[in-house]
Amino acid sequence: MTTTIELRIDVTDAVGLGPAEVAATVHLPAAADLPARPVVAFGFPGGGYCRRYFAMDLPDWPAGGEAAWHCQRGWVFVAIDHLQFGDSTVFEPDVLTFEHISLGNKAAVQHVLARLADGSLTDALPAIAEPFTVGIGQSMGGCFTIVAQGQHQLFDAVAILGYSAIHTVVPSRPGTPNMPMPWITRASYPAAPTIVNPQVLAGGPAITDPDSLAEAVTEQEHVWTWAFHHDDEARDLVALDMNAMSGGPVPSWRSATSAACGIVMVAPGAVATEAAAITVPVFVGVGEQDVVPDPAMEPKAYKSSPDITVFRCERMAHMHNFAPTRVSLWHRVHAWAQGLADSAQP
């Protein structure tokens, strides 16, 4: 079991919307396991999930999940709840934009790094003044990580997991039509959202808001079950996770709230400018069932990155950390970032 530190970080001044705090869990390695160039990774969860997604205790796996796995190999792993998620401050539903959430995440990252640098965060580790920093964003967290990196250059490398910088599309089970979603321009949100594909939404059922998402259930399952969970996963765990979308109990890894602005991220090119502006190495990780229609095309979105890796993991769906092959993805992300850290100059 790794040591953890729970933080509530005041980001009021950074965000500018009134009192605001970001919740974070810092997972610490043993001091003896720190590499020569320490790595500090920041994990950002997807829509409907919270920072505990990175520390789930699943059957047949030691406690602590992905965060503990990385810590056992020498990383500091910081799991963060975006504003409007988990234990962070919740605003009125239509207040936050991508920019607000990214500013909150930026302030939280800078707070943790400053405290690691001056040694005030923990006595368990020496001061870490010049770590190699990695932003790991899953699903909607990947979207927010792209925005934060493109606008604020927060990290030395970013791993975008289960999100397309070109066009994110949630598939239904084969043989079932995909549920259409609105394409909303970012400039119009939230004051007066402009939907540029109204003809598609008028053709039948569509997912346009939390209510329609909750109601998107067939006789057998929620329409996103196949995209989110591989058929090799334990069905009771899958049901627990997916039922939370439809008003069921909220398990520890999920969030009772989510950012309404997330609906904007499914428009083609929603974060194209920020993705094109990223100048650090990028890792694109997807499952064989995921929301990235053509993983091989993703490098084209990162026009300024000098180093792009694409990995497609078998027997894995969109919610990667539930998959029986999740450790394969963790291995690849860890080896990729550790290799970059080992070769980088502080």
Task: Please report the pLDDT score of residue 59 as a whole number.
Answer: 73
Alpha-carbon distance of 131 to 38, in angstroms, equals 5
Alpha-carbon distance of 315 to 312, in angstroms, equals 10
Q: Are 146 and 275 in contact (CB under 8 A)?
A: yes
Task: Please report the pLDDT score of residue 319 as a whole number.
Answer: 98
Alpha-carbon distance of 138 to 163, in angstroms, equals 7
Handedness of CA 253, 334, 71, 10 (dihedral sign): negative
Q: Are 54 and 45 in contact (CB under 8 A)?
A: yes
Alpha-carbon distance of 315 to 328, in angstroms, equals 10
Report which of 54, 58, 59 is spatially closest to residue 4, judged by C-alpha positions: 54
Task: Please report the pLDDT score of residue 62 as a whole number.
Answer: 66
- Using CA atoms, how far residue 311 sits from 59, 79, 237, 282, 308, in Å, is 25, 22, 25, 11, 10
Give the strand pairing for 76-80 and 21-28: antiparallel
Task: Please report the pLDDT score of residue 2 as a whole number.
Answer: 78
Structure tokens at 197: 């594909």
Task: Please report the pLDDT score of residue 41 as a whole number.
Answer: 98
Phi/psi for 190 (5° steps) reads: -100, 0
Helix axes 140-152, 98-118, angle to 10 degrees: 70
Report which of 89, 84, 81 is spatially closest to residue 26, judged by C-alpha positions: 81
pLDDT digits (tens, 9 = 90+) for 134-192: 999 999 999 999 999 999 999 999 999 999 999 999 999 998 888 999 999 999 999 89
User: The tokens 């979207």 sit on which residue?
Assistant: 143
CATH topology of domain 3-177+250-343: Rossmann fold (3.40.50)
Report which of 263, 288, 129 is spatially closest to residue 188, judged by C-alpha positions: 263
Start-end of H helices in the chain:
12-15, 65-71, 98-118, 140-152, 198-201, 210-214, 225-228, 235-243, 272-277, 326-343
**Is residue 64 left, alpha or beta, with left meaning phi > 0 and alpha meaning psi from -120 to 50?**
left
Q: Are 320 and 53 in contact (CB under 8 A)?
A: no
Structure tokens at 283: 């890792």
Distance of CA 242 to the CA centre of its chain: 18
Alpha-carbon distance of 294 to 81, in angstroms, equals 29
Alpha-carbon distance of 4 to 9, in angstroms, equals 16
Task: Please report the pLDDT score of residue 242 as a whole number.
Answer: 95
Start-end of H helices in 2-97:
12-15, 65-71
- Maximum C-alpha span of the chain: 60
Q: What is the DSSP string of 90-148?
A: ---TTT--HHHHHHHHHHHHHHHHHHHHHT-S-SSS---SS-EEEEEEETHHHHHHHHH
pLDDT less than 70: residues of the chain:
1, 61-62, 346
pTM exceeds 0.75, yes or no: yes
Listed by start position, the domains of the chain span 3-177+250-343
Give the DSSP letter of residue 179.
P
pLDDT digits (tens, 9 = 90+) for 194-217: 999 999 888 778 888 888 888 888
Q: What is the DSSP string of 219-241?
A: SSSBTTHHHHS-TTS-HHHHHHH
